[in-house]
Structure 1
Amino acid sequence: MHIKMLHQTALLLLLSHLSLALADHPPPISTTVAAGPHPKSISEAANTAKPGCQTKCGNLTVPYPFGIGLNSGCSIGPWFDVNCDNSSSPPKPFIASGNLEIVDISDGQVRIKNWVAARCYTETGNVTRQNPIAINFTGTPYSFSDSNRFTVVGCDDLAVIVGSSGRNFTSGCLSLCSQSSDIIDGFCTGIGCCQVPLPKGLRAFSSALGSLSNHTRIHSFDPCGYAFIGDQERFQFRTSDLQDTGFQNRTIQNVPIVIDWAIGNGTCDEAKTSADFACRENSVCIGSDTGLGGYRCNCSEGYEGNPYLSPGCTDINECESNPCDEHGICTNTPGSYSCACGDGYDGDGRKDGRGCIAVNSGFPVIKFSVGFSVGLLSIFIGVTWLYFGVKKRKLARMREKFFQQNGGLLLKQQSPFSEGGAETAKIFSAEELEKATNNYAEDRILGRGGYGTVYKGILPDPRVVAIKKSRIMDQSQIEQFINEVIILTQVNHRNVVKLLGCCLESEVPLLVYEFISNGTLFHHIHNSSQMSWFAWKDRLRIAAEAAGALAYLHSAASMPIIHRDVKSSNILLDDSYTAKISDFGRLD
């Protein structure tokens, strides 16, 4: 309760601090983000820049409606100006007159260099370095994309993000861990790393970091905490991030912030009535989905180019990609194309349709080929069906042989119920147990010993069972084995492991027991890490339960059963640490 109250107090303090930080808009720290794989950019279209304007700034191609140069007239408006800083090598592009470095411009989105809040500590908890982050796009055509995630990295860190303008938004993220071995690479779920999504339409945010104990308990492997927003596709958490002194710069270099952009703040219908409507010929208007209004332009189907520049998008000559059959004739049309077959051929002429078929040809090559292929396929299917049918019947005969060899007929002759009316063993099929153990997979093995191997199985019920597979079976003892199965399935005591049934369709009979989840008493009393579970009263209770079960087997059962091998490894513990006697009778 004390820790929970501490968490709540820390979060409230951070929320208050961040609200003030958002109002003050602290200046961001200038960093660089390296380009990576991004969605297809509108800069790939023909004639992307406004005629007479510079097309590239460093490694970035700048397409209209963006333009290079402040107040140069090369963009659709001041907020689409790209300030090219030629003092760097290569030159760096920035949005308008601000310090937001552009990484990429695509259709509807801009990627900018990231900012990362950091807070580092000494071993005694003194803060050695800290910087909050805040970005404000109020009054601009930009907002933060919901493809970003707010991320906190650290083992003793919490952060609150407060957003306003466009979308009022407050959220927090708490990341904790006590040792590096608790962390799983690739997972950002609150152990060493946590993430929360951002809403569409967020135009401003502020965030800073706090800590519950200033990293004093985990300083050896995590001296700093970090918080940032960035493209979720570009960040994957690793345990090594906690000790990486270059994590902040590496994130700046590789995880950009995704920004949505739109023209104006009205709907497409409203924009179309305006004299400054940006979409040119052969293009369509697409409304922004951020909830803030505005629109973008795309070329109509069958057209390409820059939809913002006159004379608009131009027709694509689809015939250049040869969409028609080799005997077809392609005709380009505005926004589309058509195919027609030449003389002596019939069909729609399209490669993705019927193509062109020769009329009155001497030998029906196509019909012959289709008929031959269908016949060959039929023969293959028939042979395959016959093969698997024979294999299935052979397997069924083999299982029936094992069933009879292992005393199945004798077991079926016995009464299915004891005198008390309780069910005896169920006879499981080999197929049931193969499915239950995932074909006796290695990861289902519970233990091995001189007697054989024990597997964990999951029945369709879905009950969890333990399946014992013996190494050998003495055929002269089959009748005694069947009698013991019948006797042991009538044993009904809360402190005795229940035999649920058997399978006789395999070379060696399989026994199916109830599954006891907490292992053996031997494991618990000889494992120092588990000692805290067993006070003397618990040990006495387990001893009394085991003694009661043995007394029942030796004296109270309808047919007395002598255990012969009483030891701590044959006493199992269930979910509530109740003792269960196992490995009794000659079956085991």
Structure 2
Amino acid sequence: MVGKQFPSYLLLLFSWLMMNQVTSEIPTSKNGCPSHCGNVSIPFPFGIKPGCFLDEWFEIICQNDNSSNTIPKPILNRTKLEVIEISVEGTFQVRNPITFLNCSDKQIRESTNLEGSPFKYSQNNKFAAVGCGAIALMNSGEASVGGCSSICNDTAYGNSCNGINCCQTSIPSNLKSSNTSFLNLPAEGSGNQCKFAFMADQRWLESGSTNISAIHEMVDVPVELIWELYHYSTYDIFGTFVETNSSGFLEYNCYTDIATSEYGCYQNSSCDVYIANVNQPRLQCSCGSSWTFEGNPYLLEGCKDIDLCKKDPNYCGEGYICTDYRGAVGCSPPEHKKSPLEAILIGVGSGVLVLLFLSASAWLLTKYIKKRRREKFFKQNGGLLLQQQLSSGEANIEKTKLFKSDELEKATDQFNMNRVLGQGGQGTVYKGMLADGKIIAVKKSKKVDGFKVTEFINEVVILSQINHRNVVKLLGCCLETEVPLLVYEFISNGTLFRYIHDQNEDFQLTWETRLRIAKEIAGALSYLHSAASFPIYHRDIKSSNILLDEKHRAKIADFGTSRSVTIEQTHLTTLVCGTFGYLDPEYFQSSQFTDKSDVYSFGVVLAELLTGRKPVFMEAEEGGSLAASFILSMEENSLFDIVDARVLKEETGEKEAIMAVAKLAKRCLDLSGRKRPSMKEVAMELERIQKSVKASDYVEQNVEVVEYNRNEMTAPRNDVSISTWSASYGGIASLSDMEAPLNEKHMVTYK
């Protein structure tokens, strides 16, 4: 009996010795510390017992319910999150709770607040909402940072989250805290059905094995977090960059040569120090990716070279000599005896020939690769689609320049993050300066895929057909980079949203300025709808897509989701896209976008200009919708209770003009698109209101003169009408000016 068990015992002992040998060769945890909790590996700086983790944020509690059949669960002690997987590359996966609405037997839980911790939510996650007509917002603090809405279809549940009964959206960068709220907007068939929302790892959400309709039976989903090492830093007397925390010096460091300012980590690893904050640099180490090193770079001698020749002695074949230097494996035939002179001559001659051959080959290969990459990116970024548009005669881009990639890289300082002007759903915008000193804005798309490329070419074609002083001008594009690039004129004074909702002492948004900006936007939209070569629907009109130039003139931007339509078309059928608070309810229900959908969004912008309130707010009244509360105030004759105090405190006596604009905004916000005015009618009405305001100002300024000369006037003062004063005012651009192509004789300067 003993004899039969002995070989098994030896086998187990041998396996244990091999495991310990591998662990000693490629360590992941500190010496003498547990390396696993259940099936999860726990690498340093995480650890299970005192002395094994960096600080309390990285402490893992290995939780066991004392059942022999239960696998222990690793719990992050400070956050109480269950850990699924940890990577020394700076990420780890945890279980994140689902937020439910109208779901029986479900507790209301929110995502963990990570403020003050070295953790944040990765942008590899997606925010998703599931349910018939579910409309969910992702909030951080008191502000909404994202959200999505699903289309109701009781028969369409499945394994994909494509907008029908399930929607998803990206999350912002550097997100530390998040909570979920639902909007109760009217949606046919939604009722009080169970709806829920969550943030989850995109790879899990889009996996074919994930059943969307079965998620409501779960209580949490996997989410990816980023862990970072933030510590105060100092230089010691030997020039070593030593990372410290409140408890003193740590046993890992990131050294530097003061003469060359080159950072590094422990031997066989590489180091990066990101100065996100002057007092809190971020240290990130990694085992050299270009060599065959593996292990944990945060441990002394944690990165080990995997010698392929030792691992497989017959790698090169019998009789051949195998060499492995930092991952470069070489195979050479058996050596034979050579004289010293012969060896020197052969070595020198071979070296010269190899050097010449490698130099010529590298030059030719670099030139060939660069050419092929440009050709590949040209096709990848929609070059063929753009050529098709040109050959069809639908686009007119004779004046649009095709920029070189190195020209734009130099202009933006290699797309430096310090040059970022803003980020949106379509991409990131950088500020740049060309060689001739001209300031530009360069838009870099987020991803290179068919959908994004189509949007990019769509924006090029649409903007190339637009020539209007209140629309951001397209200067050109670049198709030979990894992601498509658009080059615009630089608009210096930011967005209208910032001036409405943030106080700015340098520029006061007076009532006269608000009225002028509203007229300029309406004129541009009227041009797009009825005066361009093809009618163009913007589809995302909002105050953050309206920029102000150096003279604070309004310019409409961001045409990534715009569409041009033929004269015969009355609407455009698409997947619902737009921004909460500005979205046309009729379009949301029917998915049919018309010119009246742009009118509705403009009506919300008018309400913003009048009230100074955001289109969606956290208060419960009227579902948190500016459009709803604005219409209610008009119906209850309480408009001036919500008008922006910065408008009322001017005491200009222009309440009639404010009421006229408010009535126009109410018409634009009519739930029935047929009852809304066209943008041309809106532009004409705003021009009439502005002229009447200017005329009233002129009357008030000259009333003393009229009174003084009343005995000399041939007609009574009551005969002076507003239309008479309006006709005498010559400083306002006419509607025909706004619709005509931009040239010098039509330029209007607002003072």
The interval holding the TM-score normalised by the smaller chain is 0.3 to 0.5
TM-score, normalised with respect to structure 1? 0.43
If each structure's helix is expressed as a fraction of its own residues, which one has the higher value?
Answer: 2
RCO greater where, 1 or 2, for CA within 8 Å and sep 6 or more?
1
TM-score, normalised with respect to structure 2? 0.34
